[in-house]
Amino acid sequence: MRVATIASLGASVLLGVGALFVAKVWLPNAQAGPGKAAAQPSVAMSSIVAASAAVPYGTKLEAGNLTLIKVPAGSIPEGAFTSIDQVLGRDGGAPITLAALAPREALLPSKVSGPGLKPSVAALIDPGMRAYTIKVNDVAGGGGHVLPGDRVDVLLARALSDPGVEGAEGNRLIISSLVLQNVRVLGMDMIADPASVEKFAPSTATLEVSVEDAGKLAVAGQAGTLSLALRRSGATEIVEVRPITAREVTGLSGGFSPASDAPRKVARRPAPRPAAAPARGLTVTEGDRKTVVNVPTERPGS
């Protein structure tokens, strides 16, 4: 029994020494080979200018507002500034933020004004576009829910006279039509900050439109009342919408032809009365004088 125990212990010692030898010789070589193959290739990094902390809208930038951050060279946003001096060292003075910046958010040209400029609506207009202001009220302006940066549709409501009815002075036909769709709001009254949460009843709305669309708004503003319909965030669809009349909304009788602004009624006139039959003449002789006396003719059936 003792011999068997000694033999078992000897075998265990030999196996342990073999395991240590394998671990010391083979495992380092295994780690060195695959480890080198799995090593990640180095990524080229570049510096861009970002906000060092949260920067509100309308802030005149200073060196303390900015910092440099490292990003992969292939992921640099288009137009990003690569040095703080590139932002602050231009002639005319430091720019103004046109949008609130989050900490470490990249500073882009679209988010700052030109050197020394005020945070005005003019700095927000995209190339080739114009800012056009229309009159609104608390209802037509979206009830205070339309804010700078939102997108809206512009509708026109106008009253037309109905010439098809005789003596219809004051008789009006109400019609609504869609003037523009998917228009960006630059400002409500004097507020142009997209981050503004101020609640108020607006009296004007400034919209970003093309030159042609500015002309449409100018004509529409004289023709009737303009109002705004707020779009869902990110919605860009353009739909075909025909004019709508009050008759369709209220369910009153009367047709509508999309080819014309208003249906015309044809007034029925009474049929002309038949002309009376000509009177017959009777000649009466008195001496040398002849007199013609008209004698009425009886109508048939009288």
Residues present in the chain in total: 302
Residues of the chain with CATH 3.90.1210.10: 45-119
Taking only the tens place, the pLDDT of each residue in 7-21 is 666 667 667 766 776
CATH of 45-119, one of 3.90.1210.10, 3.40.190.10, 3.40.640.10, 3.30.930.10: 3.90.1210.10
pLDDT at 6: 66
Taking only the tens place, the pLDDT of each residue in 147-160 is 888 999 999 998 88
pLDDT at 273: 66
* Averaged confidence pLDDT in the chain: 76
Confidence tier at 296 by pLDDT (50, 70, 90) = low
Rounded Cα–Cα distance for residues 107 and 49 (Å): 6
Going 89 to 93 to 99 to 103, the CA torsion angle's sign is positive
Largest CA distance in the chain: 191
Cα-based torsion angle of the residue sequence 107, 109, 110, 113 in order, rounded to the nearest 10 degrees: 100
Side-chain half-sphere of 52: how many Cα atoms within 13 Å? Answer: 9
Segment 239-249 shows an average pLDDT of 83
For 125, other C-beta atoms within 10 Å of its C-beta total 16
pLDDT at 278: 54
Q: Which of these ranges, 121-135, 173-187, 281-295, has the smallest mean pLDDT?
A: 281-295
Which residue, 111, 241, 133, is CA-closest to 185?
133
pLDDT at 270: 62
Work out whether strand 172-188 and strand 289-295 pair parallel, antiparallel, or are unpaired.
unpaired
Is it the case that residue 246 has pLDDT exceeding 70? yes
Rounded Cα–Cα distance for residues 133 and 52 (Å): 36
More confident: 22 or 214 = 214
Taking only the tens place, the pLDDT of each residue in 92-146 is 778 888 888 999 999 998 888 776 555 667 777 888 999 999 998 878 777 778 8
Is it the case that residue 242 has pLDDT exceeding 90? no
